[in-house]
Structure 1
């Protein structure tokens, strides 16, 4: 890895897990001290993160961590569904033996880590690998690039839930992934796309509930104001 790659990986990791919170100014001197790197690789990493919409560049103010919102999260999920269902149909139509074998292997690797659930970052790596393998058979570099960008956009909403709870509550995630893989391998595009949409909508509902709960806690109790008795 180049220094810029290392800077990108470190910054992205801290943004995704919330160590660098939304709206935080990313001053070069502070980042250089935090990551023990020079300005050049950090600036290159920040430009790369800006292209993924994880940081914003403001005129005369430098970089800040991109804000989060329910509306932005819902938009990202909606676009993932649009892009990934198209890619999934292409993969089912054109994916060969290598794609199918890779999907079986990715599902098995994900199952092993879900059962362990002792390393959130390894689980996330295998989760990404599964969803990428599901689509890669489409043969479109543009669709896969959009997949990567939108995956990053939703990851920063999903990861805090995993970090707080260890896994999504009340869901059999292996069954969801297994059903999705089976439908794809059986070349049933309509069923596979339907399962993919349901999978993302369940995650969206979980994230919305989590964000609403945090907003309620931040707002604090707001009971009726007492008037003066005088």
Structure 2
């Protein structure tokens, strides 16, 4: 715990540095935005990116339901993009496992199932265990401070989040993702990071509908679980950190499985 408190001080310094860097980057981001707005040489590409981002967000947030057909004509009206960029976006989403492409039937949202949830979480354990182990071996001061600052941000957002406020729930999920990304951010493998990101997308589809209606479990302290994982990682105790991460994901899988089953039962009863 003393080690964590020491790193909190370091994290504040890191946060100040990040803030300065963020301010410096605002002008660059605005200029890139202006350049993008002026770009006319390949408008299909920018429209494809926009369509991809919107459809991806609406699948993850549940606006598009599991198994829902994704009609190009409806998406064209919704996204303001033509068929070519929409097909590009849907093909990318199919590669990520969020969309299913069916011959002669077009695209639909990938289904949700208990088997898929368990498979996704167990695969996350398998992949992230390796990434965490490598990060503990390779990570330096920046990695340590990123873990501490992301844990702090997660705790702050957890305190202010209201179950009936979709915006605060979305912010909580973003802080939660930031923490888990920070843990494995020193793995040194971009391929591994891409796999982890895709697996996260697969699991968050089960998390988002459950955040405002999560089954009560007073014996579980999520912030304590995250704190224990980070403390073990920062102490360079890879075996303990991986064990805690594994237990954390399996408990989460149990809770999400129950929530998914209850949701399916309510749907069937309508």
Is TM (by shorter chain) over 0.5? yes
Question: Where does the alignment leave 5 or more consecutive residues of structure 1 unmatched?
Answer: 222-230
Q: Deviations over 1:102-156 (max 9, x none)?
A: 1111111111111111411111111111111100111111211110111011110
Say if 1:161 and 1:168, in contact at 8 Å, map to a contact too.
Answer: no
How far off its partner does 1:168 sit? 7.1
2:45 counterpart of 1:45: no
Q: Secondary structure of the residue that 1:136 maps to in structure 2?
A: coil
Q: Secondary structure of the residue that 2:184 maps to in structure 1?
A: helix
In terms of fraction of residues, the more helix-rich structure is 2
Say if 1:162 and 1:168, in contact at 8 Å, map to a contact too.
Answer: no
Equivalents in 2 of 1:133, 1:40: separation in Å? 36
Match of 1:3 in 2: 47
Match of 2:100 in 1: 56
Match of 2:257 in 1: 208
Equivalents in 2 of 1:117, 1:37: separation in Å? 35
- Pick from 2, 9, 12 the counterpart of residue 56 of structure 2: 12
Match of 1:225 in 2: none
Match of 2:18 in 1: none
Q: Deviations over 1:135-190 (max 9, x none)?
A: 0111111211110111011110111101435x975332211111111110000111
Question: Where does the alignment leave 5 or more consecutive residues of structure 2 unmatched?
Answer: 1-32, 34-45, 163-167
2:246 counterpart of 1:197: yes
RMSD: 1.9
- Pick from 129, 138, 152 the counterpart of residue 201 of structure 2: 152
Q: Deviations over 1:72-128 (max 9, x none)?
A: 111011100000001110000111111111111111111111111141111111111
2:211 counterpart of 1:162: yes
Q: Which runs of 4+ in 1 moved over 4 A?
A: none
Scaled by the length of structure 2, the TM-score of the pair is 0.77
Scaled by the length of structure 1, the TM-score of the pair is 0.89
Match of 1:114 in 2: 158
Alignment: residue pair count? 220
Match of 1:224 in 2: none
